[in-house]
Chains A and B, each alone.
Chain A
């Protein structure tokens, strides 16, 4: 099924992709395309549902930034069918989180052309904006650099620890690794839908880049090493009660990490219900019982509960940390809790649409060690 096509870039991959997307819209391959677009005159790049090819002038699909994970957006455009074929240009972490949302019946793969791209990572939002002040075309600078970073500013820790640079379950993969981007981009159609979307444009059929596999392999092994080092450093720092208290000390219960999290899926969060709206007398009672009560309250319970709720579904996109106003290392917390909980159930979020989420299934003969 896999077929690889080629488009020429003439020195500007972004322009080449814009014209590819425009062709899809013009030829009605999709009615609209969710794609990262610069919100001119701002440098901010946001996912935008584009229906008119003229509106692609500011599309910046490869911009090294993601102000939000796109899984929730994919959920919102597919949960109740739009009644038309849509497309989406998204990262690996977007798709992996979306797969988890689909399993929760909060999104659908139907009538959706998923286009993934080989992901080099993203900058933290504020650092991206700072770099944009200096460079007119940061995307091009980013892909020109030998390693993912500019002026000593590196991509996020989550991205450096990500071992899934290639999007799974995409109909089409925009293959950036192992080719000379300034000359061509190869498009790998992995499904029948992908093939028909590319056949419609009469693109030349080529083979897979011979170097791509090796590039991915070396990138993944480098990132694995980084992730392992991150996990052991995190656990040494925060793997105890005092360490965890220190880690979350600056948390103000804004719940931005929960809002930013693409797999935090409850329609109503228990922490926003009356259950956690304590009156003065209850707060006083708790203060008296313990001698002191940190306010805002229930911060440890909040983080521990989130680890229980979504640790096993965490795709490691790092949006939690990017959203934190006080620099709490939420991504370290979730990479670590994710590794532990996912390891326990041999579950990899986003790996398969068929695989059931750990807390939605059980068997008679399992986990014998739990009951002693």
Chain B
């Protein structure tokens, strides 16, 4: 596969309260959702266990996107701030096996920021096209999870 026709797969964990509402709004506004983006609705960004992220990469994701509410807006007070610590930790661990930090995004998205969300996914997709397939996801023949 040449770099030009590589289409990355992004697994997106979106908090039910703000980010998911933003995606819903994007749909209502008939902004097409990127086909690269595989959406998983979670109850809070703070519930995204690091294993979910690791397993996503191991099972074929080229990038993982976690959407949380802005600090101060968390439905569960601090779930998003806990998610931020976990993502910082995960980035270091993924770095240990050479996975670039651009492959794991945590972004704050308000319910009204549908346009911003769509742009973010487009930007992440662009960056992942440049980075190419994730080595954990597209392992050379003979290396299975």
On chain B, the residues within 8 Å of A308 by CB distance are 50-51, 54, 89-90, 93
Q: Which residues of A (276-315) have their CB < 8 Å from a CB of B?
A: 286-287, 289-294, 297-298, 300-301, 304-305, 307-308, 311-312
Distance in angstroms between the alpha carbons of A286 and B90 in the assembled complex: 25
Q: Which residues of B (60-77) have their CB < 8 Å from a CB of A?
A: 71-72
Shortest Cβ gap from A342 to chain B (Å): 9
In the complex, residue of chain A having the shortest beta-carbon distance to the beta carbon of B71: A364
Shortest Cβ gap from A356 to chain B (Å): 11
Interface residue B97 (Cβ < 8 Å from any Cβ of A):
yes
Give the segment of B11-19, B24-32, B36-44, B134-142 that binds chain A. Answer: B134-142
Are the C-beta atoms of A241 and B98 separated by less than 8 Å? Answer: yes
Are the C-beta atoms of A362 and B78 separated by less than 8 Å? Answer: yes
Interface residue B3 (Cβ < 8 Å from any Cβ of A):
no
Interface mask (B127-145 → A, CB under 8 Å = 1, otherwise 0): 0000000011001111111
Distance in angstroms between the alpha carbons of A287 and B94 in the assembled complex: 24
Give the segment of A66-74, A116-124, A200-208, A333-341 that binds chain B. Answer: A333-341
Q: Which residues of B (92-140) have their CB < 8 Å from a CB of A?
A: 92-99, 105-108, 135-136, 139-140
Distance in angstroms between the alpha carbons of A370 and B101 in the assembled complex: 9
Distance in angstroms between the alpha carbons of A154 and B89 in the assembled complex: 34
Shortest Cβ gap from A343 to chain B (Å): 8
Interface residue A40 (Cβ < 8 Å from any Cβ of B):
no
Interface residue A371 (Cβ < 8 Å from any Cβ of B):
yes
Shortest Cβ gap from B81 to chain A (Å): 4
The chain B residues found within 8 Å of chain A, CB to CB, are 50-51, 54-55, 58-59, 71-72, 78, 81-82, 84-99, 105-108, 135-136, 139-145
Distance in angstroms between the alpha carbons of A304 and B56 in the assembled complex: 13
Shortest Cβ gap from A287 to chain B (Å): 8
Are the C-beta atoms of B92 and A337 separated by less than 8 Å? Answer: yes
On chain A, the residues within 8 Å of B141 by CB distance are 291
On chain A, the residues within 8 Å of B85 by CB distance are 358-359, 361-362, 367
On chain B, the residues within 8 Å of A366 by CB distance are 84
On chain A, the residues within 8 Å of B93 by CB distance are 304, 307-308, 311, 337, 340-341
Known contacts: A245-B139, A305-B50. The answer to whether A341 contacts B89 by CB under 8 A is yes
Are the C-beta atoms of B145 and A367 separated by less than 8 Å? Answer: no
Interface residue A242 (Cβ < 8 Å from any Cβ of B):
yes
Q: Which 5 A-B pairs have the closest CB atoms?
A: A241-B135, A240-B98, A362-B81, A340-B92, A244-B97
Are the C-beta atoms of B86 and A359 separated by less than 8 Å? Answer: yes
On chain B, the residues within 8 Å of A301 by CB distance are 51, 54-55, 58, 145
Distance in angstroms between the alpha carbons of A243 and B72 in the assembled complex: 42
Shortest Cβ gap from B51 to chain A (Å): 6
Interface residue A82 (Cβ < 8 Å from any Cβ of B):
no
Shortest Cβ gap from B66 to chain A (Å): 10
On chain B, the residues within 8 Å of A311 by CB distance are 89, 92-93
Are the C-beta atoms of A239 and B107 separated by less than 8 Å? Answer: no
Q: A337, A364, A372: which has the most chain B beta carbons within 10 Å?
A: A372
Task: Known pairs A305-B50, A358-B85; list 8 more (Cβ under 8 Å).
Answer: A238-B97, A239-B98, A241-B98, A241-B99, A301-B55, A305-B51, A307-B96, A341-B93
Interface residue A84 (Cβ < 8 Å from any Cβ of B):
no
Distance in angstroms between the alpha carbons of A7 and B50 in the assembled complex: 52
Which one, B50, B95, B145, contacts A298 given CB within 8 A? Answer: B145
Shortest Cβ gap from B140 to chain A (Å): 7
On chain A, the residues within 8 Å of B90 by CB distance are 308
Shortest Cβ gap from B118 to chain A (Å): 16
Are the C-beta atoms of A242 and B135 separated by less than 8 Å? Answer: yes
